[in-house]
Amino acid sequence: MVIIRLAALFERPEFVPYLTAVTREERLAISTTRNIAAHTGYRSMNDDLFWAAVTQRVPEILDRLIDEAAGAEDF
């Protein structure tokens, strides 16, 4: 669910200012993973890669987004 929600945020106009915290490759990977999960099902996914994404990469990305949002509030 976190991948689906994160991908949805990338499509919202009010979220655009924070996208500098996420690389283009990360956005594409999240969107691709979301599309696979939503359209072909979780069974077609590599469990090890998905687990690594959700437990390692996504928390790092969320930390950067939170830092970016906190920095924007300081101005």
Phi/psi region, residue 41 (left: phi>0; alpha: psi -120 to 50; beta: rest), is left
pTM for the whole structure: 0.77
Give tens-digit pLDDT for 16-73: 888 889 999 999 999 988 888 888 876 778 888 888 888 999 999 999 999 998 887 6
For residue 74, is pLDDT > 70? no
2 — pLDDT class (breaks 50, 70, 90): confident
In this predicted structure, what is the pLDDT of residue 41? 73
